Structure 1
Amino acid sequence: QNRISPDNLWKTYFFFAFGYRSQKNCDRCPETTRLLEQIPGLKVAFFSILAPGKHIPEHRGKHKGIIRCHLALKVPEPREKCRIRVSEQVAYWEEGKTLFFDDTYPHEVWNDTNDYRVVLFLDIARPLRFPLSIVNWLVNRLVGFSPIIQVAKGNHQNWEKQFEEMLR
């Protein structure tokens, strides 16, 4: 995520991405992992933790075969100061509720509060009719082999090694 957020005010706790699984994180959160494994078409899952005062600038996804979902776990008050804009529409998270959107539209996020915002961030394969469903399945499989996913996987594995060393 360094491309859109080069500082350390947006943290993630990663579970899955396009066939890669962070086994250690899954082991640390067995109930969350059990629930995630039941979601049909799940491609990406992580906790997204946005620090107070953080703004993620406008960006957009590149693949129409995905629908993004945020399950709000912790939303600071006042609600109007913690928001997402997708295209021309502004939305606010509500704890325990989901927010679905197409991330290929320009979107940006603000947390103009004094507390952390936490969502369970999910990318789910867009349900499509045959034959597009087959094309989307293939594209989603190929994404797992793309350089961006391979670099992210390597970065995550390096972080895991550093984290384990800190615990010793």
Structure 2
Amino acid sequence: MTPEIDDAFEAVEKEYGVGSIDRVRQMLDPARQDRHPQQKNAKWILPGLSKKPWHDPYEHPETAAVVRAFEAGHADIKRELADAWSLNRPSFTDYEHYLSTQSDWQALYLFRDGAPVLESAQVVPTAYRILDEYALRTATHCPLLESHFSTLLPGASVKPHCDLWNFSINLHLAVDIPEDCGIRVGDETREWVEGKCLLFDYSFEHEAWNRGTGTRTCLLVDLWHPETTLAERAALTALITEIRVLLGDSQ
């Protein structure tokens, strides 16, 4: 670790108590990592979190509030998204995943590079407002990642992969779902139900596809894993931010 990380960890423990970030320290020791086989390609595994690929969207009060707000706003979100797709296509860009960039996977960002994308407040106001009120202001959103509309064009697929870590989980609000679309996380394949949310741990191997004839759009929101503590969130934010600075990397 660097002196900056040591100082950050010391500050967290001064605020939250000695031992409050032991799991974060254990995460940094490869010999002590305990991971599910389907998490083998994830970079960071915080120990002690439930090893399950799918989460009940309504199980944890913290994440349930975000889920219910997005589901309640679905009709307006879908209408504004359709207007953006037809009238503000430059707002969408090729999605830049840390593994690849795909032109058949389009994204409209609401939060990126550690900050809200202010321009999106005019393009998709309902989604932006709900994200701000229920995820950003409550610190339920993981600031190390992003939030965006994810549009798979007909025939597009996302290859099987593990994302970087398990201490945040991914919310999918099904905005516009044609037939013949699906997502697999771990060993279980599910279909999106328009207007409803899925919640899953993307450190598990997962893939998605659109084999239909229309565009498939979900709103993706990265939330802190509900089993992480405030102390761990503070330490993890400092840790990953410093690592990115050192690597000159946005991931």
Q: TM-score, normalised by structure 1?
A: 0.77
What's the counterpart of residue 150 of structure 2? Answer: 48
Q: Which residue of 2 aligns with 1:65?
A: 167
Partner of 1:36: 131
Rate the CA distance shift 1:150–1:36 in 2: closer, same or farther, 3 A: farther
More strand by share: 1
| Alignment-derived partner of residue 212 in structure 2 | 113
Q: CA deviation at 1:33?
A: 1.3
Residue of structure 2 in register with 1:104 after alignment: 203
Amino acid at match of 1:137: A
Of 3, 19, 30 in structure 1, the residue corresponding to residue 114 of structure 2 is: 19
Of 92, 117, 128, the residue aligned with 2:227 is: 128
Structure 1, gaps ≥5 residues long: 153-168
1:93 has 2:93 as partner:
no
Q: CA deviation at 1:74?
A: 0.4
More off after superposition, 26-35 vs 105-114 = 26-35
2:168 corresponds to which letter in structure 1? I
Q: CA RMSD in A?
A: 2.3
Structure 1 SS opposite 2:119: helix
Asked if the contact 2:182–2:192 (Cα under 8 Å) also holds between the matched residues in 1, the reply is yes
Q: In the comparison of the two structures, how many residue pairs are matched?
A: 147
Q: Which moved more, 1:57-66 or 1:136-145?
A: 136-145
Instruction: Note closer, same or farther for the CA distance 1:83–1:107 as it changes in structure 2 (3 Å cut).
Output: same
C-alpha separation between the residues in 2 aligned to 1:64 and 1:5?
Answer: 20
Correspondence 1:137 to 2:237: no
Task: Write the distance in 2 (CA, Å) between the matches of 1:51 and 1:31.
Answer: 23
CA contact (8 A) 1:67 1:100 kept: yes
Q: In the alignment, does 2:172 pair up with 1:76?
A: no
Equivalent position of 1:163 in the other structure = none
CA drift of 1:65 comes to: 1.0
What is the TM-score normalised by the length of structure 2?
Answer: 0.53
Partners of 1:71 and 1:99 within 8 A in 2: yes
The Cα of 1:32 is off from its aligned counterpart by: 1.8
Going by fraction, where is helix more abundant, 1 or 2?
2
